[in-house]
Amino acid sequence: MRKPLPILLLGTALLAGCERAAPTPDAAPAPRPAPRPQPGDTAMSMTLTSSAFAPGAAIPAKHGYRTGNVSPPLQWTDPPAGTRAFALVVDDPDAPSGEWVHWVLLNLPADTRELPEGVKKDARLADGSLHGKNDFGNLGWDGPSPPSGTHRYVFKLFALDGPLALASGASKQVLLKAAAGHTLGTAELTGTYSR
């Protein structure tokens, strides 16, 4: 009777290989590669800040509707790869109507990383960006004006894969509909204002 020696040797070799491949308890797991940004991924991938107020802090009075009405300065970090334009929306989610839009700005050039204080309210700005219409019925920034108490004001920046085919005067709703499927990343900054 022939002995199954080759099969026995093969099994021993496989077991030895498994033992060598098994990690020791102290071994760190292999690092996973960072996920690549995908078109349509709207995860927070930029940071939006203002030199006028810290996140969650009070917006200075000069930016209020009745006390200066100049837009605050904004700055942001580099956007996701493939960004070809930006859009910005600012609204008050605590308004009695449920939401009040204070600023709509679209088609900012892709190399933009900041907005100065007091952006002009022209329909088309020098860099080619366009102002949409806010809920005051105006183009450009119209600042906080809560009827009473303290309200939040949410600045939301969208990194887009291209300029939106919209004219000046577009509403927030029209902008959001046009940006659907073209948003590569977003960033938010919230400030407060009291009356």
**Phi, psi at residue 16, to the nearest 5°?**
-65, -40
DSSP state of 110: T
* pLDDT tens sequence across 81-108: 999 999 999 999 999 988 999 999 999 9
Q: Examine the pLDDT at 156 and tell me if it is beyond 80.
A: yes
Helix (H), strand (E), coil (C) string for 116-166: CCCCCCCCECCCCCEECECCCCCECCCCCCCCCCEEEEEEEEEEECCCCCC
**Phi, psi at residue 178, to the nearest 5°?**
-70, -30
What token pair was written down for 78? 């580099």
For the chain, the structural domain boundaries read 48-194
* pLDDT tens sequence across 184-195: 999 999 999 998
CATH topology of domain 48-194: Phosphatidylethanolamine-binding Protein (3.90.280)
- pTM tops 0.85, yes or no: no
